Every structure is written in structure tokens, then in C-alpha cells.
């Protein structure tokens, strides 16, 4: 059976004047999955999300969301945390959440009741009756986030939800995203922080310069690079001649090389037979960092990491 999709975008293009912000992006988000859009500043993430939600129209290309080509007609079934944050400063946290729910069709009393539960579950129960203006920036952002899910949307779209949160709140948000997925929701979020994408996402898209550079599962991304073997012979000075794959390089008294397509078995047997023995052997999956460097190039990855670091220093 084909995977049911919560959202598809086909060849989306958006120009702002002479600037092409999004240049032919295709995205497929399976129902019930967590999907990440990863890319550096100015990559086109926000513009893509806005087109998907029908806030702006693409110049060309199409999108289908929860079975409709008119995303705005599905707004009650969608939760959205926009890039620009903002709540009414004199509303209490609980009311602010209920208010956002009401805008998406949730009855007020139900919204207030759910808001109290959500705040408590998120560890923010103490702020339930605090006015927004009294909250820290990160806490206010978390309240807005709760407001975007209070009506139990089927599809949750979060634009850079981790930006501006301290590590404790980032962890809370990761837990919340997983809990919403377990509830059956589909979650789509943008980020320039690889760690969140790596831990959370079933699938991801990497966008740079408005172009899609990768789309697929994290596992598929990883599978584009072979696993590496780190092997140390008993005799560290031994020259292993042509026993190892030709691209093996010396490393710390041992050798590093890609695990051959045929696997390690034959190679290990040869090493044991030859008498070199095995003082150490470990197999390491390439990190998502290495995979991205291969897929999108060192410059793009460095840019994303520099942004993530700058963010963490705030
Ligand atoms: N309303 C607009 N008018 C003109 N140019 C725009 C507009 N919105 C976005 N752009 C340009 O389009 C490009 C993509 O912007 P976008 O906001 O989609 O990137 P992003 O990936 O969300 O970046 P960030 O990580 O900084 O949020 C940028 O060059 C930006 O300057
Ligand atoms: Mg953005």
C-alpha cells in the first residue's frame, strides 16, 4: 500500500522581484510522520512553508494538503507557529492559548481547559495565570507553541520552533513534538540545527539557495555513505600490503577504510589467516554532518552550524 501523504508540494517556485526565493521544491510528507526542512538563513524555508499553508501563492507548482488544493480551507485542521512570534501582551498565558484555539474553531471553554492541561504537561503550570508581558521571551514562545496545537490539529507546521529556546525548553519541545506524533498528528518543522532534525525526523528536506538538495529519510541520507571500519592490527608497524581496500588510510596506529559492499567477513578472514590479527576493530556510521557535507557541500553545512552556534550563544 502506498504511504498516505499529509502534504505534497510539486515544483514550487516563488520569486520576489528579481530574486528567486524558492526554485522548484518537491516535498512529500507522510501522514503521522515528523518531517524537517533544514537549511541555512535565506534558504527559502519560510517561503516554502508559507506557500504550503496558502499564506502566499506560488508563482508556479502546486501543493496538496490534507487532501485539498486549497490549504486555507483546511485551517481548522492545521496548527502553525509562524517565524515572527507575537501574542497579546496583556493576555494571561491560559487565555492566549485558548484565544489561538478559538481562531481555529475551538470552543472557548474547551480551549481554556486544554490550555491549563498543556501548560502543566509542559512544566509551565506555574505560568498559567501570568500575563504574557511577564513571561521571558522563551516562555512566551512556548505558550504560542501550545496555542498552535491546542485545537488538536492533524497537521502541525512550526517555523524554526527551537530558535530562541534554552536547552531545557528545547528538550521540552522535542518531547512535545514526539507526543503530538504519537497522538497521530503530522509535524513539519524548519530548522538550521542538525541535531534536532537528526533526533526527531523520519524524513527531511535540505534546502539551500532556494533549491532542494536532498529529500528523503534520515536513514536513506545516511545510506548514501558507507560505514567506516577502524582496524588496528596486533603489530602496529605491520604493512598490510594489498590486504586492505586500496583507499585505507593510516590512523592512530591503525587503518580507516570504507566497509566494502561485500561486507567485512571475507576481509576479516584474510586478516586472521595472514597472522596480522585484530587488536581493535570498530565500525562507525558516518555522522549526519558528514552526510550533509557530501550532499550539500561543506560551505552550506558550515553556514548552518555557525548559525546554530550563534543561536546557542544568545
Ligand atoms: N516578502 C519578501 N520580499 C522580498 N524578499 C523576500 C521576502 N521573503 C523572503 N524573501 C527573500 O527570499 C529568500 C528566502 O527567504 P526565506 O525567509 O524563505 O528563508 P529562510 O530559509 O526561512 O531563512 P531564515 O533561516 O533566515 O529564516 C531570502 O533571500 C529572502 O531575503
Ligand atoms: Mg525562515
What is the pLDDT, as a whole number, of residue 182? 97
Please tell me the residue having the least CA distance from ligand 1 atom 26.
41
> What's the longest Cα–Cα distance across the chain?
77
For cell 486549497, the residue is 70
198 pLDDT exceeds 90? Answer: no
How far is 143 from 146, CA to CA, in rounded Å?
5
188 pLDDT exceeds 80? Answer: yes
Packing angle between helix 137-149 and helix 93-103, nearest 10 degrees?
40
Strand 60-65 to 78-81 pairing: unpaired
To test the ligand 1 pocket, which listed residue (44, 59, 296) has its Cβ within 8 A of the most ligand atoms?
Answer: 44
What is the pLDDT, as a whole number, of residue 260? 87
User: How remote is the CA of residue 21 from the centroid of ligand 2, in Å?
Assistant: 11
Q: Is 191 touching ligand 1 by the criterion CB < 6 Å? A: no
Strand partners, 81: 158
How far is 290 from 135, CA to CA, in rounded Å?
39
What is the pLDDT, as a whole number, of residue 66? 94
Ligand 1 atom with least separation from CA of 17: 4
Q: How far is CA 259 from the centre of its chain?
A: 28
Cβ–Cβ under 8 Å, residues 226 and 259: yes
Mean pLDDT over 81-85 rounds to: 92
Burial (CB < 10 A; 0-12, 13-18, 19+), residue 201, is buried
- For the chain, the residue count is 314
Q: Is 68 touching ligand 1 by the criterion CB < 6 Å? A: no
What is the per-residue pLDDT across 235-245, written as a single tens digit (0 to 9) for each? 777 777 788 88
The chain-wide mean pLDDT, for the chain, equals 91
What is the pLDDT, as a whole number, of residue 1? 53
Q: Write down the number of H helices and E strands in the chain.
A: 10, 13
What is the per-residue pLDDT across 204-227, written as a single tens digit (0 to 9) for each? 999 989 999 999 888 888 888 889
User: How remote is the CA of residue 42 from the centroid of ligand 1, in Å?
Assistant: 5
Q: Is 43 touching ligand 1 by the criterion CB < 6 Å? A: yes
What is the pLDDT, as a whole number, of residue 12? 97
User: How remote is the CA of residue 209 from the centroid of ligand 2, in Å?
Assistant: 12
Q: Among 50-64, 172-186, 208-222, which is the least confidently predicted range?
A: 208-222
25 pLDDT exceeds 60? Answer: yes
Domain-by-domain residue ranges, the chain? 5-222, 226-284
For cell 495565570, the residue is 129
User: How remote is the CA of residue 259 from the centroid of ligand 2, in Å?
Assistant: 39
User: How remote is the CA of residue 294 from the centroid of ligand 1, in Å?
Assistant: 25
User: How remote is the CA of residue 219 from the centroid of ligand 1, in Å?
Assistant: 29
Q: Is 21 touching ligand 1 by the criterion CB < 6 Å? A: yes
Please tell me the residue having the least CA distance from ligand 1 atom 14.
44
Tell me, which fold does domain 5-222 have in CATH? Rossmann fold (3.40.50)
Q: Which ligand is nearest to the CA of 308?
A: 1
Cβ–Cβ under 8 Å, residues 103 and 147: no
Ligand 1 atom with least separation from CA of 44: 18
Ligand 1 atom with least separation from CA of 50: 18
Q: Quickly state the pLDDT bin for 2 (edges 50, 70, 90).
A: low
Q: Which residue has the higher pLDDT, 284 or 237?
A: 284
Q: Among 55-69, 179-193, 277-291, which is the least confidently predicted range?
A: 277-291
Q: What does residue 305 show for φ and ψ, rounded to 5 degrees?
A: -70, -35
What is the pLDDT, as a whole number, of residue 43? 92
Please tell me the residue having the least CA distance from ligand 1 atom 18.
44
User: How remote is the CA of residue 159 from the centroid of ligand 1, in Å?
Assistant: 12
Strand partners, 155: 78, 186
Cβ–Cβ under 8 Å, residues 200 and 34: yes
9 pLDDT exceeds 80? Answer: yes
Amino acid at each position: 500500500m502506498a504511504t498516505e501523504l499529509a502534504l505534497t508540494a510539486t515544483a514550487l517556485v516563488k520569486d520576489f522581484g528579481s530574486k528567486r526565493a524558492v526554485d522548484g521544491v518537491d516535498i512529500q510528507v507522510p501522514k503521522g510522520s515528523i518531517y524537517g526542512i533544514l537549511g541555512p538563513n535565506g534558504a527559502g524555508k519560510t517561503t516554502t512553508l508559507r506557500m504550503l499553508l496558502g499564506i502566499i501563492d506560488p508563482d508556479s507548482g502546486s501543493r496538496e494538503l490534507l487532501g485539498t488544493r486549497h490549504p486555507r480551507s483546511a485551517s481548522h485542521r492545521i496548527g502553525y507557529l509562524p517565524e515572527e512570534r507575537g501574542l497579546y501582551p496583556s493576555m494571561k498565558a491560559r487565555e492566549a492559548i485558548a484565544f489561538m484555539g478559538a481562531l481555529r474553531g475551538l470552543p472557548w471553554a474547551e480551549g481554556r481547559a486544554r490550555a491549563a492541561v498543556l501548560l502543566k504537561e509542559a512544566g509551565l503550570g506555574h505560568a498559567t495565570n501570568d500575563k504574557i508581558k511577564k513571561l521571558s521571551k522563551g516562555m512566551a514562545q512556548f505558550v504560542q507553541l501550545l496555542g498552535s496545537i491546542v485545537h488538536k490539529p492533524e497537521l502541525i507546521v512550526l517555523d524554526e520552533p527551537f530558535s530562541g529556546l534554552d536547552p531545557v525548553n528545547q528538550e521540552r519541545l522535542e518531547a512535545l513534538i514526539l507526543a503530538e506524533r504519537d497522538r497521530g498528528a503530522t509535524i513539519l518543522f524548519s530548522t538550521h540545527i542538525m541535531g534536532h532534525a537528526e533526533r526527531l525526523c523520519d524524513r527531511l528536506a535540505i534546502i539551500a539557495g532556494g533549491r532542494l538538495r536532498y529529500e528523503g529519510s534520515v536513514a536513506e541520507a545516511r545510506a548514501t555513505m558507507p560505514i567506516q571500519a577502524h582496524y588496528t592490527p596486533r603489530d602496529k608497524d605491520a604493512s598490510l600490503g594489498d590486504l586492505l581496500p586500496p583507499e585505507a588510510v593510516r590512523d592512530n596506529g591503525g587503518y580507516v577504510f570504507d566497509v566494502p559492499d561485500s561486507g567485512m567477513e571475507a576481509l576479516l578472514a584474510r586478516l586472521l589467516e595472514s597472522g596480522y590479527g585484530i587488536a581493535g576493530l570498530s565500525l562507525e556510521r558516518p555522522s549526519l554532518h558528514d552526510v550533509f557535507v557530501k550532499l550539500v557541500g561543506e560551505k552550506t553545512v558550515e553556514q548552518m552550524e555557525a548559525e546554530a552556534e550563534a543561536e546557542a550563544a544568545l
